[in-house]
Structure 1
Amino acid sequence: MNGEWLIRGRDGRLSVYQVSQDAVSCRAEITPGGPWGPPRRMGGDARLHPVLATGQGADAYVHLVSWRPTESGGSDLVHSTHFRPLLAALDWEPVGRPDGAGDPTGVPAVAVDHQGRAHVFVRNTGGGLGMRAQAQKGGWGPWRDLKGAELRDAPAAVAGKDGRVEVYAAAPGALLYWRQERPGTEFALHETVPAAVRPGTLRALATSGERTTVLFTDDDTGELCAWRCGEKPVPLAPAAGPGPVAAVRCVIDGHDCTLVAQRSATGGRVAFAAYPSEQEAMGAQWTESGPALPADARVSLALDADGRVVAASLSPSTGQLLLTRRKDEAGLALEAWRAV
């Protein structure tokens, strides 16, 4: 899965999106902070590849993107919108692919602009970045080639607080950054910086009203690093484990902070680290929580209807979903993890 999959909906309920071999399902709180309902299949009966990208707009609608096999033996991207956790999602809508036909070209990413339009990004067959966006009057615009070369899997797309969509991708020895100069305008490759990005570790989020930040693991040093346009990558802490971190901007003891979480490769528990937003040079320290998890377990973070941090872990091999919330006290004290 690409993007956070624990998401607070328009009505304050939390949802968890999970991928099986041929479908996407969703579990949601029946009431905010209350019990959870059973998993429900998203987008109708279409068979999917086991990949999912998620994005959420300012309207709190959740946009889902996956690959679907075609009758000709190839695969195309499909998109669905989930308006509220307890409602059914729209049926999967074909988005096509950047070029040609054939197998999936990579893990997609999706971000939603200030007008609620989804922007889908995926590596094309030439190794560059393809993008297609929903049109203002309905339907989809054309696929656009945003250039780049030798891109690795899973770009990271994010909408800033000003509604401008930005996207990050990794190539051998480099981190690439595209953005719109203004919301709703064309994309341009704005900056390329030297970086040894470990494949599959990009995670982007808005960290202020003006800027977004991308987090990644440096493949040479094993450090979790942060980068923003116009700066150099800053090491934050040694990565706790493989894969991307989960990240959320939150308030801790009155301070604007960024909280990151990752399954620890050593103890198998969830490791948390918090630091003042956009002040990565101060460093951060991991604190582990909860039981040891299977090696394939992933972590996601969100804020609930009361603004409290919620963390979830999900293991595809076991289907086990665990949840914890921040206690109503100083610091980052968490409740006991519980199975959902």
Structure 2
Amino acid sequence: MSEHRGLALAPRRRTVLGAGVVAAVAAGVPAQASRDPEPRGTLPAPASGAPAAQSARPLLLQVLAHPDDDLYFMNPDADRALSADVPVVCVYVTAGEADGVNKIPGRPHPASDRAAYSAARHQGLRQAYAELLGLPVFTPWKLGVAQLPGGRRAETATLDNGRRSVSLVFLNLAMHTLSGGQGIPALWQDRDTVLRTAVAAGSPVASIQTYDAEALLDALVSLFARYRPTVVHTLDPDPDIQESDERTRIRDSEQPGFSDHGDHTAVGLFTWAALARWARTAPGGAPAFVATAFRGYYNHHWPKNLPEPVLGTKASHLVPYGAGPDWDCGNPSGCGDYNVGGDRPLRNRKGWVRSTHHRYPGPRTALARHVGGDRLVAYGVLGMRAVRWEEGRDGEFGAPQDLGGGPLAPTVGLTSLRDGRHLLFALRFAGLEHGGGVNLREIVVLEQQAPGGRFTAWTGLGTPETDADRSRRVGVPVAVTAGDGRVHLFVRNAGKGVSTRVRDRSGRWSPWQDLGPGPVQDGLTAVVTRQGEVRVYGAGRIGVCQWSPHGVLPAPELPAPAGPVAVSRERVLCRPEASDRLLASTGEEIRFPGYGPVLAAGPYLLGRDLRGEFRLLHEGRPVPGTPGVTALDGPALIATEQGAAAAGMSPLARPWLWRPERSWKPGRTTEEAGAAV
């Protein structure tokens, strides 16, 4: 996080791409020629059918623009991983030197010293992560130097506490070009830009280095190959469009036209491009990793989604990062980012710390029944490629089968046709090129040829947007199959409303249709009612929005939701802003304290409690137990004849499956189940 003005991450020239052209390109069909050539995306990677890679040990690697982006935008997710003894590596792309003024609230501003301010922010990070490791904040770290391609070097700091470890990697690229513009956005946009590093005071890397875009991509790929993460966190590459007057935009620290800092966006783009390159070029095929992106200054514009107990813990980790001038840390350059010390993040009107939003909300493991039985299959994204797992007789998922399609965003949509065949949907990075190249997103679909059988080739469905840059704002796909056999596909569009395409029973898709305005957040919920009617719901700024396939419907009577909603037995459920409560559109409150999205399937509800553990309710009563593993975001829930089944991804980038009926049956009390266990 860094509050500075900068240029927008927009195309160097405006490019227009029709949805039909995107679909044609993705399917390998030549697009119609025009006087101004349209940008062409890459084709989806074909399915190999071979087993995908699996990892032997977990590791979380985070790629940040500035010191403190992780503390503001990625906790409590990173904190949960570290608490589960998952090693954490944080890569900071910029030096965070900003204007060099380490502001002390209530005092005159000191003289600018970029080297000292960068070093003070690094010291604050070491203090924050020492505390997260359960150590005194001034615990000494092991400092070192990492060798990077092209003879470049990066400053490193490592600290262990038993089985827990944190490594900090500082690339220290300057935040600004020599002409004063934002450095990382310029590096992404302009092939001719070369950016210098900013040397932090006392750094073991004392010489100035230079980077162009390819050098930064090479550095990131080399770090991925060195650490081999199973989970990657980074920033939002495609922030929402945000219309603000210039005074408001500057006050909100946002880039022109979009709801985030330009450095966040550029680092997100570099990270996803580097991940795609690593997945494509790694010896032995795509490595086994899952990834996600976190929203940044977006948090200012939407209802806050962390209740007080979770927020308090998250904000407390910024205290040792901000520190104060009276702290005795032993660093002559300073002991932290003083303007962030104390309770100032909680008092900041922008409220960045009060939410943790994922750019790609939805299931990491979409569940369906295996043909001819009660065993389950799961679909997800591993190494930016689609994969499929089958449940074995032991009740565990087997090895992943590669389905291709990459490079894909982290979550998938799934629906079953009436004959039992599966349709898998994903959001794809169809173009992810720096230097004014193609930067394009599209929705793709993979169709099963026969129930339980092989799949056809991936097909591009385009997006609702006719502009390549607007295609980047499109959300993750959700789909349902209606009683008449038609498939309804929904996405959040660039205007923050909802758009749809419909597949008829012969397999033909309708054009994209705009169902009307929101605004809503991503993470739509689509259902088929008992009457066979299709409905889709989204979390708006002042309440829950509802659509049918024909347009907007009256909103359920609910307050502004903190995030995606659930639908259970004709009731719409949501957690209100900044609350751990769960409310129903029928006026009742369901006792299920926690945070984050809640999933519904029949009489079951699945959600996180206030400690971050997934819990299950049946008919409003707690089901004993938990999945028994540290679970990432994006679980799935399905109801079967034998009861509920929940699935998700672990930090090892492997799926977990929880069938609580093995130790508990509906109708038994929690006490009876506990006695049986």
Aligned residue type for 2:461: V
| 1:30 Cα deviation from its structure 2 partner | 4.8
Q: 2:430 aligns with which of 66, 70, 73?
A: 70
| 1:300 Cα deviation from its structure 2 partner | 3.0
In structure 1, the partner of 2:645 is 311
Aligned residue type for 1:300: A
In structure 2, the partner of 1:323 is 658
Distance verdict in 2 for CA 1:11–1:18, change over 3 Å: same
In structure 2, the partner of 1:98 is 464
Gaps of 5+ in 1: 180-185, 250-257, 276-283, 336-340
Q: Is the deviation greater in 78-87 or in 47-56?
A: 78-87
| 1:34 Cα deviation from its structure 2 partner | 5.9
- Conserved? CA contact 1:168–1:177, under 8 Å: yes
Gaps of 5+ in 2: 1-360, 432-437
Distance verdict in 2 for CA 1:92–1:322, change over 3 Å: same
5 Å matches for 1:40-119? 40-42=401-403, 44-71=404-431, 72-82=438-448, 86-100=452-466, 101-102=468-469, 103-119=472-488
Distance verdict in 2 for CA 1:83–1:239, change over 3 Å: farther
- Conserved? CA contact 2:635–2:649, under 8 Å: no
In structure 1, the partner of 2:399 is 38
In structure 1, the partner of 2:509 is 140
Aligned residue type for 2:615: A
Q: 1:259 aligns with which of 560, 585, 604?
A: 604
- Conserved? CA contact 2:486–2:505, under 8 Å: yes
- Conserved? CA contact 1:308–1:325, under 8 Å: no
Q: Distance in 2 between matches of 1:157 and 1:195?
A: 20
RMSD value, Cα: 2.9
If each structure's strand is expressed as a fraction of its own residues, which one has the higher value? 1
SS of aligned partner of 2:409: coil
SS of aligned partner of 1:51: strand
Q: Distance in 2 between matches of 1:219 and 1:156?
A: 18
Provide, for residues 11-47 of structure 1, a one-character-per-residue CA deviation record: whole Å limited to 9, x for no partner.
223112222241221111356x7664321123x4542
Answering whether residue 590 of structure 2 is matched by residue 236 of structure 1, we say: yes
Q: 1:190 aligns with which of 543, 553, 571?
A: 553
- Conserved? CA contact 1:217–1:224, under 8 Å: yes
Q: Distance in 2 between matches of 1:171 and 1:95?
A: 26
| 1:146 Cα deviation from its structure 2 partner | 0.6
In structure 2, the partner of 1:149 is 518
Q: 2:574 aligns with which of 216, 230, 240?
A: 216
Answering whether residue 380 of structure 2 is matched by residue 27 of structure 1, we say: no
Provide, for residues 178-207 of structure 1, a one-character-per-residue CA deviation record: whole Å limited to 9, x for no partner.
22xxxxxx51312124521112x32235x2
Q: Distance in 2 between matches of 1:84 and 1:264?
A: 40
In structure 1, the partner of 2:225 is none
Distance verdict in 2 for CA 1:204–1:82, change over 3 Å: farther
Aligned residue type for 1:66: A
Distance verdict in 2 for CA 1:83–1:145, change over 3 Å: same
Q: Distance in 2 between matches of 1:85 and 1:239?
A: 40
Distance verdict in 2 for CA 1:131–1:67, change over 3 Å: same
Q: 1:18 aligns with which of 371, 380, 383?
A: 380
Provide, for residues 87-116 of structure 1, a one-character-per-residue CA deviation record: whole Å limited to 9, x for no partner.
233332111111122314222211111233
SS of aligned partner of 1:69: strand
Q: Distance in 1 between matches of 2:428 and 2:562?
A: 27
Provide, for residues 278-312 of structure 1, a one-character-per-residue CA deviation record: whole Å limited to 9, x for no partner.
xxxxxx343441365436255433244xx111433
Q: Distance in 2 between matches of 1:140 and 1:68?
A: 19
- Conserved? CA contact 1:121–1:131, under 8 Å: yes
Aligned residue type for 2:649: S
* Structure number with bigger Rg: 2
Provide, for residues 47-81 of structure 1, a one-character-per-residue CA deviation record: whole Å limited to 9, x for no partner.
21222122334444333211112243201101123
Q: Distance in 2 between matches of 1:80 and 1:226?
A: 35
Task: Give TM-score, length-normalised by structure 2.
Answer: 0.40
Aligned residue type for 1:15: V
Aligned length: 297
Q: Distance in 2 between matches of 1:30 and 1:83?
A: 22
| 1:326 Cα deviation from its structure 2 partner | 0.8
Q: Distance in 2 between matches of 1:213 and 1:84?
A: 35
In structure 1, the partner of 2:615 is 271
SS of aligned partner of 1:27: strand
Aligned residue type for 2:668: G
In structure 1, the partner of 2:346 is none
SS of aligned partner of 1:326: helix
Distance verdict in 2 for CA 1:176–1:46, change over 3 Å: same
Q: Distance in 2 between matches of 1:58 and 1:331?
A: 34
Distance verdict in 2 for CA 1:204–1:81, change over 3 Å: farther
In structure 1, the partner of 2:494 is 125
| 1:162 Cα deviation from its structure 2 partner | 3.7
In structure 1, the partner of 2:173 is none
- Conserved? CA contact 2:636–2:646, under 8 Å: yes
Task: Give TM-score, length-normalised by structure 1.
Answer: 0.76
Aligned residue type for 2:561: V
- Conserved? CA contact 2:386–2:402, under 8 Å: yes
If each structure's helix is expressed as a fraction of its own residues, which one has the higher value? 2
Distance verdict in 2 for CA 1:233–1:79, change over 3 Å: farther
Aligned residue type for 1:247: A
SS of aligned partner of 2:511: coil
Identity %: 23
